[in-house]
Structure 1
Amino acid sequence: MLKLNWQKEQRVSAELQCDSAAQAILYGNEAFALQHAVVAALDVPPLCLRVQALNQQAIFLMSNEHAALDEKLYAVGVLLSKCLLILDPEKIQEAGNEILALMHNGMLTESFAALPTIDTYLLTALRQLAQVNLDVQLDPLTGMTLVMKLSELALLSDAQLLALLHEMHEDELVQDFMQQQATLWRNYLLWHAYHGVFPGTTSVAWETSFLALCQRVFGIKVLISMLLVEQCVLDEATIAQLFAAWERQPLPLLQQENALLIGLSLLK
């Protein structure tokens, strides 16, 4: 359990790395409902208004029920790129409102569709994933399938990896999962937003925080997609275990420089 305290706000969140907590976090419709109470102000510094504004706008974009997962992250990336040099919290709020409007009228969808694909970073992320040894207890068939698919990643050529990524992206089971699990993906993003006050309390780390989140999303999507393509049955408990294990897994940044660009490239 993590507790964050500021002068006028407190956040308490369970650890997604815990299997049992993960299921409640990912599948609870009210998992991120705010609780309001009148209490005395704490004798601690307040949350920076600039950070608070950016965090809140990121939460609004992540909560958008009409946008797909990757488009939400794209919107957050656009928000960060606009706000890196903005100091005024009201201007940050205005930027967030503008992006939210673009999401509603479909213009952001068009912009995201036009985003170029950069195979280099996709391949690097897949090679990184091939080295993962997840600490997860799955049923024998699913566990064996996951081990075999991760081993396969290490053996495939670049062209074969890109073909596999395309195959998973186009697979009907994968597409259905992405569409039907809207609450799961929304809660996953929101957990990161609340738990770590995304994108962080110092602007120096904002771009790398975005890349780290995109790496996490990319990796768990690939893990789930590989199992779905192999016809593995994934119930809520199994999915929660996968997410928890993935959050326990150390994941070095692909690169420090151009972190925002690299993060965006993992969304295509």
Structure 2
Amino acid sequence: MELIEHYQPEYVVRFAERKRACTCPACQKSAGDWPVTQLKLKNQQRDSLDAGCETAAREILLNPQAFVLHTSTTEPDSKQVFNTWDETLNQLCINLAVHPALALESSLYAIGVLLSKAQRYRDNDQCDPQELLTMGEQLSALADGGILDEQMRVLPPIEVNRVEALEQMGAMRLTLNLPAMQKMSMMLKLSELAVMEPARLQDRLRELEAGIARNTLLTDQPHILRNALIYKLYGECLPGPDADNYGDVLMSLTRMMFQLKMLCAMWREDNAQLTHDDVVALFSAWFNWQRGNVWKGANSADYTLLCGLSLI
């Protein structure tokens, strides 16, 4: 039998080597091998962890080397094929997410440009992976030359989309592993978003965006948010073989980053600083929540791509 590639990121290896079981609330409610996950395809297997576990989230987010891949071989255990088009597009998205010349926001912008072009190819039945590779090379060259950073900075602001995204956070029901008073404060802040008048929501957005700039932990350790992006791309093989609207894919990524930043800004309003423990608690709760609240749009790919870009 032909063997396939078996990928294990560093965070999976470190999690397996731990000496004590995780006792976070999510793990206490789970059984079996959780939070270990495996994406099994006919031509590769990717091991990962569910970031709803706080120990897993800590390994995924806080280690700059979390995505160093350990590669071996294994026997195939699935009939689902990750075809060359899907595999190439996923790898190019990951390449842009880790490109050393790009800030996180520029990486998201570059992924949006790539997905927009890929959508046009696909809509025209031009699913030749070589076209994607050529596009990937062009984007990498633009990144090296600083052009993508410049293009991202001159994107026209569409504040109405950001206000709407903030309002939607009012529907979040996070299971936060925090002291009671801090948990209550965070949930109140979220609930208020659902009932605010549009003008107040706009002011609230600006308050929180100013707060993001003061989150020195995230600016001093940019790998935390970048690891969240890579985790999403790697673990779900995005865009994935079942995606027919790449705008939805970009929106899911930029919406995730927007919401995680906003949660950190809300936390910072009532606390002297944002610590590693705080990040783990907030992000892990978000990943637990989003498992049952996967975003799905109802608009065209072009429109959703534009909305996704506006959340960067």
Q: Give the TM-score normalised by the residue count of structure 1.
A: 0.89
297, 301, 306: which one aligns with 1:255: 297
Higher deviation after alignment, 199-208 or 70-79: 199-208
Secondary structure of 2:127's match?
coil
Q: Match for residue 109 of structure 1?
A: 149
Give the CA deviation at 1:154. Answer: 3.4
The 1:46/1:174 distance shift into structure 2, 3 A limit, reads same
Map 1:11-90 to 2 at 5 A.
11-37=46-72, 44=79, 46-84=81-119, 85=121, 86-90=126-130
211, 214, 235: which one aligns with 1:174: 214
Q: Is the 8 A contact 2:42 2:79 kept in 1?
A: yes
Q: Is the 8 A contact 2:215 2:274 kept in 1?
A: no
83, 106, 124: which one aligns with 2:164: 124
Q: Match for residue 149 of structure 1?
A: 189
RMSD of the alignment, in Å?
2.3
Higher deviation after alignment, 189-198 or 133-142: 133-142
The amino acid that maps onto 1:253 is: W
> What is the distance in 1 between the residues matched to 2:260 and 2:74?
39
The 1:108/1:43 distance shift into structure 2, 3 A limit, reads closer
Deviations 1:13-51 (A, max 9, x none): 011121221111111233221222355666746420011
Q: Is the 8 A contact 1:142 1:232 kept in 2?
A: no
> What is the distance in 2 between the residues matched to 1:254 and 1:232?
36
Q: Higher RCO, 1 or 2 (CA under 8 Å, sep at least 6)? A: 1
Q: Is the 8 A contact 2:118 2:132 kept in 1?
A: yes
Higher deviation after alignment, 219-228 or 245-254: 245-254
Q: Give the TM-score normalised by the residue count of structure 2.
A: 0.77
Deviations 1:41-99 (A, max 9, x none): 66746420011111011001111234322221111111100112151212211211211
> What is the distance in 2 between the residues matched to 1:4 and 1:251?
20
Q: Is the 8 A contact 1:8 1:42 kept in 2?
A: no
Query: Is residue 2:171 matched to residue 1:136?
Result: no
Q: Match for residue 226 of structure 1?
A: 266
Of Structure 1 and Structure 2, the greater strand share is in: 2
> What is the distance in 1 between the residues matched to 2:81 and 2:295?
30
Would you say how many aligned residue pairs link Structure 1 and Structure 2?
Answer: 267
Give the CA deviation at 1:175. Answer: 5.0
The 1:66/1:138 distance shift into structure 2, 3 A limit, reads farther
The 1:164/1:3 distance shift into structure 2, 3 A limit, reads same
Q: Is the 8 A contact 1:125 1:254 kept in 2?
A: no
Deviations 1:160-204 (A, max 9, x none): 322232233234753523322311112111111111101111340
Secondary structure of 1:82's match?
helix
The 1:172/1:34 distance shift into structure 2, 3 A limit, reads closer
The 1:198/1:131 distance shift into structure 2, 3 A limit, reads same
Q: Is the 8 A contact 1:129 1:219 kept in 2?
A: yes
Structure having the higher Rg: 2
Q: Is the 8 A contact 1:123 1:162 kept in 2?
A: yes
The 1:46/1:200 distance shift into structure 2, 3 A limit, reads closer
Secondary structure of 1:17's match?
coil
The 1:43/1:144 distance shift into structure 2, 3 A limit, reads closer
Higher deviation after alignment, 249-258 or 183-192: 249-258
> What is the distance in 2 between the residues matched to 1:174 and 1:254?
32
Query: 5+ unaligned residues in a row in structure 1: which ranges?
Result: none
Query: 5+ unaligned residues in a row in structure 2: which ranges?
Result: 1-35
